[in-house]
Amino acid sequence: MQGVDPAWLPDGAFRPIGTRRTLIRGAGPLVDTVHGEVAEACRRFGGRVVRDAGADAGADGTAYDLVLELTGPEGLGSEGFTCRRENGVTHVTAFGQTGLLYGLFHVVRLGERAFTQDRQKQAHRPAVALRMLDHWDNVAVHPVMGQVERGYAGGSLFWADGRARGELLGRVRAYGRLLAACGINAVAVNNVNVHAVEARLLTDRIGEVAAIADALRPYGIRVHLSVTFAAPMVLGGLPTADPLDEGVRDWWAQTTSRVYEAIPDFGGYVVKADSEGQPGPFAYGRSHADGANMLAAALTASDSGSAAGPGGTVHWRAFVYDHRQDWRDRTTDRARAAYDHFVPLDGQFAPNAVLQVKHGPMDFQVREPISPLIGAMPGTRLAVEVQATQEYTGQQRHVCWLGPMWSEALRFRADGESTVGELARGGLVAVSNVGDDPFWTGHPLAQANLYTFGRLAWQPDANPYGLLDEWIRLTYTPTRSEESARLEAGVYAVLSHSWRTYEKYTAPLGVGWMVQPGHHYGPSVDGYEYSPWGTYHFADRDGIGVDRSVATGTGFAGQYAKPWAEVYESPETCPDELLLFFHHMSYEHMLHSGKTVIQHIYDTHFEGVEEVEAALGVWASLVDLVDPARHARVTERFEEQLRSAREWRDQVNSYFFRKSGVADAHGRRIY
């Protein structure tokens, strides 16, 4: 696609396939997609592809290098596949068409190795069935939040100034291709804050959603829609949106059935209710299970008989808290809210209702503990939500690769036994970081977050650093050269530690929220201290942090199962990086690291800036190896990152020096 960065699917990644002979066996629209991919690669590189729906592989006497075929069930579901290489043939089999597509992209990832090393038959299937991106895209430009809420990659791929971007449907298809190549299979096309224009996507504007679904379907991606709970009133003219009212239930059932007429494989609804001003069931004295189950029933009724496979699902967000808190009120703790609201409802949600939970109890800060809801609702399907768009992690102006953070969250064992697959039975969801920017993600290196998310959703216990290597190789060095090793090592050095670096120069030890209010970019230590948002650090002359212990604080630590409740309850056992999330500590308190809290703050802030300087140096040294436009874009972003990191360092260090009066042990410059 002209002028658009190929990201992790550059032409060169298809060379090993495109120079060889491939046989494709099977029929169906996604097999057509597979064929189209291979044919295009052969056109470019001179190989050959044969489409054969009947005969045995090789029966025509041709020696094939690659055979991709649909076969009978092997217990791998519609998305799984097997791959083996023997007697000079690489063989991919799948029961479902989507599995065959994923098998093709697996071969692309292997590159030359797919054709040079024998391998025993290996089965691959996703650990999590739903691997989804939520776009916070508005149809009409919102006066405060703009076209894309918390979007840092230009405009929306789907919408502009109140209309669907029909001219970009080719790009939407290319987006679907990128997503399939990292394993993502669902996209919600509009913001969870559903404003007046966006509400109509559900009814008279559903055709625009159907056009997006058509563009994504060839890559195995189903669309979902964010809807407003008040839709029966704002769209249907009913006097109420009470989920137990028969008229309201009928309205949802009929509306949903029209959605399925337009989009037979529609994925379902995403709902933000009773949250940050969005309407919800509380207004009618109903529970969130009542609300979710009403929509689940509408989706079940409408989907019965559809050939689309698993039915529609309602993704009901658990991000419910009081955003009009009085900062003087020390009894309310926002971190507790989701657990307090939802755990009593465990077991009451319909089978096709999924509770979508942010991975931390607050809101995508650079460091949070895992949400105590995860693992506490065994009778409910949960989806875990992470944020690829870097709202609180540098807004795609800073390099901040979030793979290790997500991996830590996904590896967390609430009770020491359950597995990620069980915890995320309802799926893994990321808020998308993509827009109409030529590099897709504004900062070209932020593509690594999207790729890593997709691959982790497929295999949550994968080593994130291995996935980073994979992304670098595909994106930067699909065709090996003498300089490949230098280029790969350089990009790896810039990205691999970048989350920790970002953490070092921003809010310390899990306390969070020291950002500029509203847009959330750049430092403001007291920016949220006297606000209604429930986001405080309580720094005074003696210490800092929020006491969330059971013994003397808000009791939040007690929401965890053992052993975590005990680990977090005491400053003696609480991990350093979360200490100020759980406890109010004196500046002179000695951390496990052997440093005091205040010295840790000074040291990490100086180190963070030094690490950005070093990363910028590494990036500069790659100038001869990286495409000039990509190199220039990253350099420009790095300059801003360095400016901003210095601002963070100086504001945070000066603030705590002035509060505490404790000098830096190394006598460095603090203002």
Residue 289 binds ligand GCV (CB under 6 A): no
Q: Does 22 bind ligand GCV (CB under 6 A)?
A: no
Distances (CA, A) of 147 to 94, 166, 229, 404, 518: 40, 16, 22, 30, 16
Nearer to ligand GCV, 149 or 503 (CB): 149
| Contact flag: residue 147 with ligand GCV (CB under 6 A) | no
Active site residue 363: yes
Q: What are the tokens at 610?
A: 């030094």
- Is 134 or 208 the residue whose CB approaches ligand GCV more closely? 134
Q: Is 315 in the site for ligand GCV (CB under 6 A)?
A: no
DSSP secondary-structure letter at 633?
A: H
Closest CA to 458 of 179, 149, 202, 148: 179
Compute the least distance from the CB of residue 577 to ligand GCV, in Å: 22
Instruction: Out of 175, 269, 319, 505, name the contact with ligand GCV by CB under 6 A.
Output: 319
User: Which residue out of 79, 385, 391, 437 is catalytically annotated?
Assistant: 391
Choose the binding region for ligand GCV from 188-196, 225-233, 284-292, 536-544 (rule: CB under 6 A): 188-196
> Please, which of residues 85-144 interact with ligand GCV by CB under 6 A?
136
State in angstroms the smallest separation of the CB of 136 from ligand GCV: 5
Question: Which residue's CB is nearer to ligand GCV, number 338 or number 472?
Answer: 338
* Cβ partners under 8 Å of residue 485, min gap 6: none
3-state secondary structure 452-478: HHHHHHHCCCCCHHHHHHHHHHHHHCC
For ligand GCV, the closer of residues 392 and 619 by Cβ is 392
Q: Does 25 bind ligand GCV (CB under 6 A)?
A: no
**Longest Cα–Cα distance in the chain:** 83
Closest C-alpha to 446, from 400, 479, 493: 400
Instruction: Specify whether 118 is catalytic.
Output: no
Please report, as a single letter, which amino acid is at residue 338: A
| Long-range Cβ contact pairs of 416-420 (< 8 A, separation 24 or more) | 416/563, 418/375, 420/127, 420/128, 420/460, 420/461
Query: Which residue number, 347 or 517, has a Cβ lying nearer to ligand GCV?
Result: 517
Q: Is 503 a catalytic residue?
A: no
Question: Which bin fits 322, alpha (ψ -120 to 50), beta or left (φ > 0)?
Answer: beta
Nearer to ligand GCV, 242 or 368 (CB): 368
Binding of residue 193 to ligand GCV (CB under 6 A):
yes
Q: Does 149 bind ligand GCV (CB under 6 A)?
A: yes
Q: In the numeric block, which tokens belong to residue 89? A: 């043939």
Binding test (CB under 6 A) with ligand GCV, winner from 17, 101, 192, 462: 192
Alpha-carbon gap, residue 432 to 412, rounded angstroms: 23
Does residue 198 bind ligand GCV (CB under 6 A)? no
- CA–CA gap between residue 639 and residue 615 (Å, rounded): 11
Size of the site for ligand GCV (CB under 6 A): 10
Assess contact for 156 and 436: CB atoms under 8 A.
yes
Q: Work out whether 606 is an interface residue with ligand GCV (CB under 6 A).
A: no
Question: Of the ranges 158-166, 185-193, 438-446, 568-576, which one interacts with ligand GCV (CB under 6 A)?
Answer: 185-193
272 binds ligand GCV (CB under 6 A): yes
Beta-carbon contacts of 241 under 8 Å, excluding residues fewer than 6 positions away, are 229, 230, 231, 232, 233, 248, 279, 283, 284
Among 208, 242, 363, 547, binds ligand GCV (CB under 6 A): 363
150 contacts ligand GCV (rule: CB under 6 A): yes
Catalytic-role residue among 134, 363, 436, 503: 363
Three-state DSSP class for 384?
A: strand
* 365 lies in the binding site for ligand GCV (CB under 6 A): no
Residues labelled as active-site residues: 276, 363, 391
Interacting residues toward ligand GCV by CB under 6 A = 136, 149-150, 191-193, 272, 319, 363, 391
